[in-house]
């Protein structure tokens, strides 16, 4: 695109079939629909002292995967730091079943936009 050029218009059905049309946390994690159906959903009822990092280490093998549990339960958790006792969380699959879909990967490398072309002003 040239400076000052309007961005391209997107079709009303954008992005179309390239992104899974299912709702739910499996799609958000980039899991193919077939992989989401294969794994039974594991659950954990929050008890006093639970943390997302602790649950991620226990169920997913690494505390660094804590945000995956949060993303899977955004409808139940007000924030990653607040875990209401008694709430039953969905635990994402372990191990990760597949890397994110190549359909979600850009076809060309992403390039930084120089400050003068970013529409500042």
pTM: 0.49
> What's the rounded mean pLDDT across residues 93-107?
59
Residue whose tokens read 């992989």: 35
Question: Domain spans of the chain?
Answer: 46-93
Residue 28 has pLDDT above 50, yes or no: yes
Q: What proportions of the chain, in percent to the nearest 5, are helix, strand and coil?
A: 30, 10, 60
Residue 58 has pLDDT above 80, yes or no: yes
Please report the pLDDT score of residue 109 as a whole number.
73
Please report the pLDDT score of residue 84 as a whole number.
94
- The dihedral through the CA atoms of 113, 103, 101, 108 has a sign that is negative
* Better-scored residue on pLDDT, 68 or 107: 68
């Amino acid at each position: 695109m040239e400076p000052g050029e309007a961005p391209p218009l997107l079709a009303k059905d954008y992005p179309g079939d390239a992104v899974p049309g299912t709702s739910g946390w499996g799609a958000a994690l980039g899991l193919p629909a077939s992989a989401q159906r294969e794994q039974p959903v594991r659950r954990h009822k929050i008890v006093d002292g639970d943390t997302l990092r602790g649950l991620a280490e226990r169920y997913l093998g690494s505390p660094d995967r804590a945000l995956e549990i949060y993303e899977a339960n955004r409808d139940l958790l007000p924030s990653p730091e607040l875990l209401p006792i008694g709430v039953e969380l969905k635990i994402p699959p372990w191990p990760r079943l597949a890397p994110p879909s190549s359909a979600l990967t850009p076809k060309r490398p992403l390039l930084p936009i120089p400050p003068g072309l970013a529409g500042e002003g």
